[in-house]
Amino acid sequence: MTEVNTLSAIEVIPTGCALGAEVRGVDFAKPVPDDVRDEIVRIWGEHLVLLFRGLKLDDDQLLATAELFGGQQAAKSRDFFLQAGVKPGENDRVATRPAITIISNVDNFGKAGIASEADRSHGLKWHSDNSYVEVPPTGSLLHAHVVPAKDGGGATSFNNQYLAYENLPDEIKAAIEGKHCVHDDHRNTSAILRPTKKQPKTRYDITGPSHPLVRIHPVTGKRALYLGRHYEWPSSYIVELGDEESEAMLAKLWSAATDDSLMWSHDDWKAGDLLMWDNRCTMHARSPVDHSQARVLHRTLIKGNPVISAWDKPSAAAE
């Protein structure tokens, strides 16, 4: 047997893109000593998204992995379903264990009322998980149980939001200094209105926390653009700007944030893959899945800490 979970067993293979690395020599189904955990945190800080392959983790082992990196956090989407009367275990987004979300296009939990979501093969727009809660999760762990064949879609792409911030023209950096964005919690990641929400008509109908447009990563100390997600107006907006200026600025920021040069795509998912991404400095998206092919992944969120605003520090400190 090859050795795992020792410092010497760890091998890091960067993707060669703006973020992402495969990490070998780690098995979260086995005990992970502190020095190995700390080394993974260091590698994560450097590469932002880590891919571990060939694992076989049950839900408790996946949750234990979240515990290693800061704890478990239940997805807010679960609350929306609970409020709509869905019982734990009845719906794939309301698994029995609160911090597990099943990302599946296999409708074996189908229930009237969520029928519009029964086919979950659609693409997911760029987003940072649960940015629409006050304390968003630090990271996410997504473990593949069943995936389509190579040409079956469902690639998960990531982009580097440190670079997105760094690459902004100076006048935009100056224009967003001190500004915050309300992160719309009305729609889910597939842009479908949540069960308990009404279609918003103005910005005053938008609910969700206000976060700084630029946050400080607590481990690296670097600035990252923090946009969350953005749908057609009225949706997330910049608090300190009027509707038109806010839309114009968000359009510029989103275009910078989603530039192809910042991206890496995991386009060869295999059963047993585990992706671990950092929601504080990356966004992710999914391409549509061929709905004739099953795709089932289990996800858990790594518990977050309050967002550190770049505006709480004198801007000179960030140079």
- When asked if residue 62 is in the footprint of ligand OGA (CB under 6 A), the reply is no
CB of 274 to ligand OGA, least distance (A): 12
- Nearest residue (CB) to Mn ion, 127 versus 203: 127
Of the residues 286, 302, 303, 307, which one makes contact with ligand OGA according to CB under 6 A: 286
Q: What are phi and psi of 275, to 5 degrees?
A: -105, 135
Contact 70, 303 (CB under 8 A): yes
CA distance 306 to 280: 11
CB of 189 to ligand OGA, least distance (A): 6
The site for Mn ion, by CB under 5 A, has a size of 1
CA distance 126 to 229: 6
CA distance 95 to 115: 17
CA distance 23 to 44: 10
- Nearest Cα residue to 253 out of 224, 277, 286: 224
* Residue keyed to tokens 């893959």: 273
Of the residues 39, 117, 129, 185, which one makes contact with ligand OGA according to CB under 6 A: 129
- When asked if residue 278 is in the footprint of Mn ion (CB under 5 A), the reply is no
- Nearest residue (CB) to ligand OGA, 48 versus 103: 103
- When asked if residue 140 is in the footprint of ligand OGA (CB under 6 A), the reply is yes
- When asked if residue 187 is in the footprint of ligand OGA (CB under 6 A), the reply is no
- Nearest residue (CB) to ligand OGA, 57 versus 176: 57
CB of 213 to Mn ion, least distance (A): 20
- Nearest Cα residue to 176 out of 284, 252, 278, 262: 252
Stretch that binds Mn ion, among 33-41, 125-133, 166-174, 304-312 (CB under 5 A): 125-133
- When asked if residue 124 is in the footprint of ligand OGA (CB under 6 A), the reply is yes
Q: Pick what 200 binds: Mn ion, ligand OGA, none; C-beta below 5 to 8 Å, kind-dependent.
A: none
- Nearest Cα residue to 15 out of 147, 160, 139: 160
Q: What residue type is assigned to position 46 of the chain?
A: E
Q: Pick what 299 binds: ligand OGA, Mn ion, none; C-beta below 5 to 8 Å, kind-dependent.
A: ligand OGA
Beta strands in 105-262 (DSSP E): 124-127, 139-146, 156-160, 180-182, 210-212, 214-216, 223-225, 237-238
Of the residues 39, 92, 117, 129, which one makes contact with Mn ion according to CB under 5 A: 129
- Nearest residue (CB) to Mn ion, 136 versus 152: 136
Restricted to residues 70-109, the positions that interact with ligand OGA (CB under 6 A) are: 103
Q: Pick what 63 binds: Mn ion, ligand OGA, none; C-beta below 5 to 8 Å, kind-dependent.
A: none
CA distance 111 to 69: 34
Q: Pick what 156 binds: Mn ion, ligand OGA, none; C-beta below 5 to 8 Å, kind-dependent.
A: ligand OGA
Q: What residue type is assigned to position 49 of the chain?
A: V
- When asked if residue 298 is in the footprint of ligand OGA (CB under 6 A), the reply is no
CA distance 301 to 306: 15
- Nearest Cα residue to 217 out of 138, 112, 287, 283: 138
Contact 142, 279 (CB under 8 A): no
- Residues interacting with Mn ion, by CB under 5 A? 129
Q: Using CB under 6 A, list all residues that contact ligand OGA.
A: 103, 124, 129, 140, 142, 154, 156, 189, 284, 286, 297, 299
